[in-house]
Structure 1
Amino acid sequence: MAVIKAVSSKAGIGHAIDYVTKKEKTEEKLVSGLHCEPETVKEEMQATKELWGKTDGRTYKHYVQSYHEDEEITPEQAHKNAVELAEHTKAWKGHEVLIATHIDKGHIHTHFIVNSVNYENGHKLQWSKHDLKDLKERCNEQSREQGLHVPEKGKTFAGEVREETVAWSKDTYQLLKQAEQGKVKSYVQDIALAVLDCKETATSRETFIRLMNERGYGVDWQDSHKYITYTDLAREQAGEKACKIRDNKLEKYYNMDFGKESMEHEFERNARTAEAEQSKRAASRVKPTEPDRAGKQSAQRSVGDVERELRGIDEAVKSRTSEGRAEQAERRRAEQEAHQRAEAERRAAEEQQRIASRRYIGRDWEPER
């Protein structure tokens, strides 16, 4: 298993070259030069800088390719792999590169010292995250082709789970670790925690932005921009320059996914969960309407009672003499009116029940704004 990393050093280019070419650390056959000779590399790199008038600022970049101590690879093969990587690194085209493989640390590793000035055009070395990623991927491809192990994402060189807080700057790393322990206050830490909290409950981008605003953080989330930018509004209003952080920086610092795609997936899951919970609540609230149904049944029973009473009256009227026919007709009209009133009351009760149900469901299923 091999890993690639960039090394940050304040040593001058001459000291760096002297270090990586020490005889006790390497052998003559394990030192090579790309666009330069190992024996005269210091003079060549300095001549390039003077030729283009760029002797100040960053004078070189330093990278290391390291193999695990248990990896079965010879120093010669490791050096050959390093030379091949250097030759096919597009960003290093036109730059002198010293390549030295060390065998003194219990594990084989190779140093790359890259001149910061291009001898062909005088341009300073342009090195991006994409270039480092490409170098690492080609290193992994070498390992696969040679039957070696490939590093697992989220694990250290020793195979251990990588800790959550990561930063390229030592000072930034220490600050974040102290913030985790409550020793100092960091706006980056505060924003990260707010994002984690808000995305757990937000059901849409708009809801997430609103929740963040309520906590005092601005969110610049635009489809035309690759990254989301968060702002500590209080620090911004106080005139602090250090008040913004992008989602890709949060991902680097905390080894977590803060990207747009993962956030939107989280919102969709939250929305589905909220919808399911609303359905359950709506179903549970419909059950208490049983008393209303009972009331409806009571109304129906009262109509039946009236009908029975009317039939009894009718039978009684039939037994009367002709003198009572006028009274019989009057009672029939009364029976009909009573029946109509009961029927009207029953229909009114049903209509009220339907209206109440529609209002209840409409209120419970109103979409979130």
Structure 2
Amino acid sequence: MAVTKIHPIEKTLHLALNYIMNADKTDEKILISSFNCNPNTAHLEFEQTKRECNSKAKILARHLIQSFAPGETTPEQAHKIGLELCEKVFQGKYEYVLTTHIDKGHLHNHVIFNNVSFVTGKAYQSNKKSYHQIRTVSDEICKENGLSVIDENYKKFKNRYSTNGKSYIEYMEFKKGGSWKNRLHLAIDKAILKSATYEEFLKTMEAFGYEIKIGKYLSFRHTDKKDSGRFTRAKANVLGEDYTKERIKERIEDPTKQQIYNKEQLYDKLSYKKPDTIVNIKNNEKVKSSKGYEVWAGKHNMKTMASSLNEMRKYGINTYEELELKLKKAASDRQQLLDRIKQAEQEMKSIYSVVENKNTLSKNQLIHDMYIENKENKAFYEEYKPQIIAYEIALKELEKSGYRTLSIPKLSDKYAVLEQKKISLMEEYSYQNFMLHDLQQAKKNTDIYLNNHLEK
């Protein structure tokens, strides 16, 4: 089952009610129910309620759509589920008309309810929280009746891939810290990967140096007070959707997270640590002014050069010419790996875009169908313009893609294969990058060492 966004109705209430009560779509009007109003005069009764409550709300009503997977339910059961949804969500405070359509290859419910409550006189608060509540109630009812959740594949895809798709370059930049938000993101990501339970996550965050306040929202503050000294709430509009308390709990339970943790351990292991550099004795003022420092520098240089020679031998290099050739090849190999990583990332980005566009079509399909049947009605178009435009843009984008015929589960499988390929390439890139830095430092040390002893 999928529930689209709630669409506000400001001007076309009568038209919208007529559409959802179309006899051809509702089994000759058998599948129509209403609460505290007559379906045929609901538009007048909604307006009367608004006047009696002295409401200044611009929105007359709201339109909710509930869809069911093809072939898994009957019109009667779908209608009963719609009634249960209305009872639980509206709690007897809002007038509504519910109809079940049977004409689009899959059953779907339309609910048009008054924006103003005849009990409280207040306007309905439509926001992310209220929408999430409707989705949750609707999913629970469907599962109780043995029905599937149509957009569950989309949700799984988003949960699996929305936080793990950083490119290698982005990942390494992210690890450097940057802003307080990046540091907190990274700490939360690491704590999730290391924790089997929510309680372990909280303890791990404390071990990372964060103070935690637990209330409606999780709040964090680093004990070194670098993060402005204030607590930061783990809210979607502050840290992002994947860092809310609810989403953190979901990510902790994700069985695929261990593979990502192993990947991160590899990055930590291969993170480049700059080798020592030989002191340029000829141009160093401290060497010229301090005999003790000169002696230390000589010993340091011999030790560092010996280390550089060992590094070169580790890579099969025995001469200066071999070092130069190896450097050129390492740089070329690293660039080729980076190109392949970018290619995999671009393909993953294309798949991600297709999944998003498919979801946009699914959410707005029924509104677009209504628009096609009412194309001459300009008021209807203006009322639902954002949904219609979103649908048409998504359709246009999908037509350009070679993945448009694949289902979301198959796209998810393909994305997973590409992600594994990218992980392998990034491991190779990490090693190649590590080796290149080693060789560059070895060449620099060799050049300085030879120059130091050239005229001796």
Instruction: State the TM-score, normalized to the length of structure 2.
Output: 0.40
Which one has more relative contact order, counting CA pairs under 8 Å at least 6 apart? 2
Higher share of residues assigned helix: 2
Asked which structure has the greater CA Rg, the reply is: 1
Instruction: State the TM-score, normalized to the length of structure 1.
Output: 0.49
